[in-house]
A and B are shown apart, each in its own frame.
Chain A
Amino acid sequence: MVVEKEEVDVYRRYWSRLKKITAIWMIAWTIPAIFLQLPANALKHIKILNGIPLHWFMAAFVSIILGISLIFLYAYVMEKTDREILDRA
């Protein structure tokens, strides 16, 4: 009985951590998906790299690189969480 209760506690702690991480990462996702793209009309006047307008470069390059980094970061943090909470139990 005691062991079972501990197990349930571990699962509960794991899931609440996972939910928190998911929420943080989904909020971070809105940066490349929405917020980098919103100011397109302002960013178009800024030229980088010898003439590439920044709004174009955001959509064509920056946002996707950010998306990839977010996924790998998530996988890494979750792997650590798995080890920290589940393996110790």
Chain B
Amino acid sequence: MGYLEGKNAVILFVGLYIVVVAGIAATGNVFVASAVGVFGSLFLYVIVAVLMRTQVTKDFYVAGRTIGSIPIGSSIASNWMSGASFVSMAGAIAVLGYDSMPYITGWTLGYCIAAFMIAPFIRRSETFTVPEFVETRAANWSIARVIAVLMLFIVSFTYLVAQLVATGVIIGRFLGLPAVLGAFLGSAIVILFAGTGGWRSVVWVQVTQYWILITAYWIAFLTAAYVAGIFKPWPHFGYGELLTQLESREISFGLKAFTEPFTKTFGGGTGEINWILSAVCLMLGTVGLPHVLSQFYLVKDVKTARYGVGWGLTFIALLYLTAPVYAILARSAFSSAWGMPIDQVKQLAWIQKWLPTGLVKITDLNGDGILQPIEMSFHKDIVVVGMPDMFGLPWFIAMIVAVGGLAAALSTANGLLMVMTVGATRDIYKRFINPNVTERKEVWVGRAMLIVLAIISGFAGARALMDPTFSRYVALLVGWAFVFATASFTPIIILGIFWKGLNKYGIVAGMIAGMGIALPYVIGVGLMGVSPIIFGGHKIGTLAWGVVAFFVNLIVATIVSLATKAEEANPPETIEFVEKLKIPE
């Protein structure tokens, strides 16, 4: 059954869902209505997943390679935007100001590189997985595939754990239920999405989740923007006066203005060179992440891949262009409490609600009874999570935000789990253990792998919620994944597509050199407190260093390939493979 044929079931469910939530709310029990609203949204995804169920391996692995450009765009966007993008990014900007903007440019403009140099060719390769692509390009050298699978597992697993943590936190924040329960619920629910139809289910669940998450983000944003009066004529251009007000308030309290550049550290570095290089590293890293690349396999053809990435970035931008304005709204809301008597601040409705959660802390450091900026501190999640209360918006806005945050965390979790499942089934089981497996059995092996992986990551997510040290390592690894991808996969994939001369010796040498440059720096500077390299008076942070590793990889791979007879060292099949990539079907 196709997505469109199932449309009636989906519409019927959504109608029923709204009636039930509104009905419960009408009885006055807002908490139950919120809980039903939040959990009810999960059923919608399950319905979509079941409608798209399949037994065919090609559907399971690459959604039959049939997805059009607008659906794949939505799926690229929700696969990409994690729980953290939804819940924490506006908050990070509200805290760091201009110095956090590499998140905005860095996590979007990578898709340009994907469109020009990667996505169409990955699709044309007609391989099923990134490790398979790497192995084929490295003259069918199985070790290359094993290394690629390992990398895929390390990156995707830490990422998935972070998503399950986010699921737990969202359920905890909004419904007051134990966060650990939320993490397990998250892992159980993604088994349902992915187990039914592999990528075919996941991609359509992701499409649904994208539209839910972006609608939720925009509803909360537009309502707050309306209350704050920045529709002049539209919030994304209309916040000039509000920003001027905010900055003069900051300066009058002796702070640096919000948009003042290069006053804080980013990724452990300082100054504009670090700012630019960090952003470029995030862009290069984006296109080396296996779960990002995997989306490019699902499209109809090369042309769809190109337009699909365009829609993908458009849909991502709907959130990423909004987050900076969101940040300014929130910052001007909470800065309005500065200079007020502390007793009076504690009477504010939203402070009263959020003070017990620890997301907001107020301490009268100098004992004068007046709130100074330094005396009020925030967790970065408060911006999106607490915004409906800051602006006194009705209860259902908070529920909509919770539904959206959950959609964001789950949509990324789906994709990651699917990438690992395909990796375990196709790149390990079928490639090394049982190459002659029947199609039906292969899909069932996939489902079994999926359940095992989901349970393991569920436990890891629970552990991260209970153990702050473990959780800190997960957060660090997620950030570093970009450095590692930039240092290892990205240069090899680009070079492999555009230069026939790259051979397996060059591939291995390049990846080892790139990681050899990146890993010690990341561990030294990021973990052990070694002081970073200073360039032009500015500290070079771990993210910015990734760009150096990228070029080292590129240069070493080129030199080693040339030294080992370059093209001549490639067997005819490899040359044929590269030739095929060049010409669309």
Contacts and interface: CB of A to CB of B under 8 A. Distances in A.
Contacts of B498: 19, 22
Nearest to A60: B324
28 contacts: A22-B117, A26-B113, A26-B116, A32-B105, A33-B112, A33-B280, A38-B276, A40-B261, A40-B272, A44-B261, A50-B232, A50-B244, A51-B241, A51-B243, A52-B240, A55-B261, A59-B98, A59-B101, A60-B104, A60-B324, A61-B236, A63-B109, A64-B320, A64-B321, A71-B309, A72-B310, A75-B310, A79-B303
Interface string A7-34: 0000100110011001001100100111
A82 interface: yes
Given A18-B582, A68-B314, A75 B109 contact: no
Given A11-B582, A37-B279, A52-B239, A64 B109 contact: yes
Interface string A38-69: 10110010011111110110011101110110
Interface string B301-336: 011001101100110010011001100000000000
Interface in B76-114: 98, 101, 104-105, 108-109, 111-113
Nearest to B116: A25
A14 B579 CA distance: 12
Q: Which of A32, A38, A60 has the most CB of B within 10 A?
A: A60
Interface of B: 98, 101, 104-105, 108-109, 111-113, 115-117, 120, 232, 236-241, 243-244, 259-262, 272, 275-276, 279-280, 283, 302-303, 306-307, 309-310, 313-314, 317, 320-321, 324-325, 498, 579, 582-584
A59 B104 contact: yes
A51 B244 contact: yes
By DSSP majority rule, is chain B's interface helix, strand, loop, or mixed?
helix
A72 B244 CA distance: 35
B583 A44 contact: no
A59 B283 CA distance: 14
B279 A51 contact: no
Given A37-B276, A41-B261, A68-B314, A74 B98 contact: no
Given A47-B240, A49-B237, A53-B259, A33 B279 contact: yes
A29 B116 contact: yes
Contacts of A34: 276, 280
B25 to A, nearest CB: 36
A26 B117 contact: yes
A75 B115 contact: yes
Given A47-B240, A78-B306, 20 more contacts: A11-B582, A26-B113, A26-B116, A33-B109, A37-B276, A41-B262, A48-B240, A49-B237, A49-B238, A51-B243, A52-B239, A64-B108, A64-B109, A64-B313, A64-B317, A64-B320, A64-B321, A71-B309, A72-B307, A79-B303
Size category, A interface? 35 or more
A67 B108 contact: yes
Residue among A40, A52, A67 facing the most chain B CB atoms (10 A cut-off) = A67
Contacts of B243: 51-52
A36 to B, nearest CB: 9
A61 B584 CA distance: 34
A32 B283 CA distance: 12
A55 B105 CA distance: 13
A33 B261 contact: no
A11 to B, nearest CB: 6
Contacts of B104: 59-60, 64
A61 B320 CA distance: 9
Contact of A67 (B275, B302, B313): B313
Given A34-B280, A41-B272, A59-B101, A68 B261 contact: no
Q: Which 3 A-B pairs have the closest CB atoms?
A: A50-B240, A51-B240, A51-B244
Contacts of A74: 115-116, 306
Nearest to B584: A82
B280 to A, nearest CB: 6
B259 A67 contact: no
Contact of B109 (A18, A32, A72, A86): A32
Contacts of B280: 33-34
A40 B98 contact: yes
Contacts of B275: 37, 40
Residue of B112, B232, B244, B320 contacting most chain A CB atoms (<10 Å): B112
In the complex, which of the residues A11, A15, A33, A34 has the most CB atoms of chain B within 10 Å of its own CB atom?
A33
A57 B244 CA distance: 14
Contacts of A29: 109, 112-113, 116
Contacts of A52: 237, 239-240, 243
Contacts of B117: 22, 26
B259 A56 contact: yes
Nearest to B115: A71
A36 B69 CA distance: 29
A63 B259 contact: no
A87 to B, nearest CB: 11
Which one of B104, B113, B115 has the highest number of Cβ atoms from chain A below 10 Å of its Cβ? B115
Nearest to B232: A50
Contacts of B324: 56, 60-61
Contacts of A67: 108-109, 111-112, 313
Contacts of B584: 82, 86
Nearest to A72: B310
Contacts of A79: 303, 306
A42 B71 CA distance: 41
Contacts of A18: 582
Nearest to A11: B583
Given A40-B261, A44-B260, A71-B112, A64 B583 contact: no
A37 B579 CA distance: 38
Contacts of B262: 40-41
A77 to B, nearest CB: 10
A22 B116 contact: yes
A34 B309 CA distance: 21
Contacts of B306: 71, 74-75, 78-79
